A and B are shown apart, each in its own frame.
Chain A
């Protein structure tokens, strides 16, 4: 049980029960636009539709009408220096349809508060002033590299 090693199911045998599930699910912002009652999750690669349904209904008490899953293969890219091909890990997405009348809007988790905005503006102003200063200093010696100060 706790060894995460389950006996194979044989006809007439007792139903296997998972006491300590180690699946993870994360609610993600939908990749493509979805109807208001569809929620997108990224989940463990081993999870099936039935697993997702049981997970949400039993642990989170969320009713789901329909579930679709897909495995997303991320784009490959080349390493900028060496040129070998890099591929990130695959992700399993599941699309959960909520019952009629229920909707879900992904919340804005990083609200722009006034002081953060002010800090950002202040830093931007300082940077602008520094650049203008450097332009003024180097007015009479164009094309000189930045590190050359003598």
Chain B
């Protein structure tokens, strides 16, 4: 075993690019049957009408990061076909008012696809950063809408230059100061402020209530959960201490 490892190491050092052609690395037996048919849209025949279909877990990001781009590309199509199969089976079960066994399989496939796409995206960003110094993601910026509220504007390409693009100017309106919007913003901000103040008061009173009800409370946990509340001030409040007759 040791000598084999050494041999592999030597091979690795000498010529990395000849490795895949080496017979040691080639998989000789493949048990997967390749089927190209409409029946790929359906589950295995033994699972038809089954009450339970066992399945493994979804692919994790860490596992997918180890895979090559080609492998990920192949896996995407495997997942895509699996999802189509599950959707077909689910629809048929729904139409026949029968039980679709283990519906979490669909979630698992969707999760795997989401993770795979995230990993490909990471690689894409890394490649773009290296080559161009930019992320290569869809550009966007923070804009102010017609009512003065901020939103993230995702930019895209247009065949017409911006100053000539009448349609764009009709459909995309941004903030322009006028009396109505100012009035709206004033009231909107007031509402936000009041909500914030009410929350502060509510939390303060709630902390006093907690202190009254549970005298030996874990102060650290309390501070962590209500960071905005001044606990010393809460203890100084006349609501603290409850109702009792002085001695």
The residue that B88 contacts in the complex, of A7, A26, A110, with Cβ under 8 A, is A26
The residue that A3 contacts in the complex, of B113, B138, B158, with Cβ under 8 A, is B138
The answer for the CA separation of A42 and B84 in the assembled complex, in Å, is: 10
Cβ of B33 within 8 Å of any chain A Cβ, yes or no, is no
Residues of A within 8 A of B96 (CB): 109-110
CB of B48 within 8 A of CB of A59, answer: no
CB of A24 within 8 A of CB of B87, answer: yes
CB distance from B40 to the nearest CB of A (A): 6
The answer for the CA separation of A66 and B230 in the assembled complex, in Å, is: 73
Residues of B within 8 A of A62 (CB): 36-38
CB of A26 within 8 A of CB of B138, answer: no
Those of B85-123 within 8 Å (CB) of chain A = 87-89, 91-93, 95-96, 98, 113, 116-117, 120-121
Cβ of A147 within 8 Å of any chain B Cβ, yes or no, is no
CB of A28 within 8 A of CB of B88, answer: yes
Residues of B within 8 A of A28 (CB): 88, 91-92, 95
CB of A20 within 8 A of CB of B120, answer: yes
Classify the interface of chain B: helix, strand, loop or mixed. helix
**Interface hit among B60-68, B74-82, B198-206, B218-226:** B74-82
Mark interface residues in A98-120 (1 if CB within 8 Å of B CB, else 0): 00000010011111010010000
The answer for the CA separation of A83 and B171 in the assembled complex, in Å, is: 35
The residue that A8 contacts in the complex, of B41, B73, B87, B157, with Cβ under 8 A, is B157
Those of A107-149 within 8 Å (CB) of chain B = 107-111, 113, 116
Q: How many A-B residue pairs have CB under 8 A?
A: 86
Chain A: CB-nearest residue to B87: A26
Residues of A within 8 A of B138 (CB): 3, 5
Chain B: CB-nearest residue to A107: B42
CB of B41 within 8 A of CB of A20, answer: no
CB distance from A81 to the nearest CB of B (A): 23
Cβ of A29 within 8 Å of any chain B Cβ, yes or no, is yes
The answer for the CA separation of A97 and B37 in the assembled complex, in Å, is: 14
CB distance from A29 to the nearest CB of B (A): 6
CB distance from A45 to the nearest CB of B (A): 14
Cβ of B173 within 8 Å of any chain A Cβ, yes or no, is no
Residues of A within 8 A of B165 (CB): none
Cβ of A25 within 8 Å of any chain B Cβ, yes or no, is yes
Known interface pairs A26-B84, A42-B91; A104-B49 also in contact (CB < 8 Å): no
CB distance from A103 to the nearest CB of B (A): 10
Mark interface residues in A56-68 (1 if CB within 8 Å of B CB, else 0): 0001111000000
Cβ of A52 within 8 Å of any chain B Cβ, yes or no, is no
Query: For A25, A42, A116, which residue has the most chain B Cβ atoms within 10 angstroms?
Result: A25
CB distance from A57 to the nearest CB of B (A): 10
Chain B: CB-nearest residue to A43: B84
Could you list 20 examples of A-B contacts with CB < 8 Å? A1-B124, A2-B124, A3-B121, A7-B157, A10-B159, A20-B120, A22-B113, A24-B80, A26-B91, A27-B41, A27-B42, A28-B92, A39-B38, A42-B91, A60-B37, A107-B48, A108-B48, A110-B49, A110-B96, A111-B48
Residues of B within 8 A of A (CB): 36-43, 48-49, 73, 76-77, 80-81, 83-84, 87-89, 91-93, 95-96, 98, 113, 116-117, 120-121, 124, 136-138, 156-159
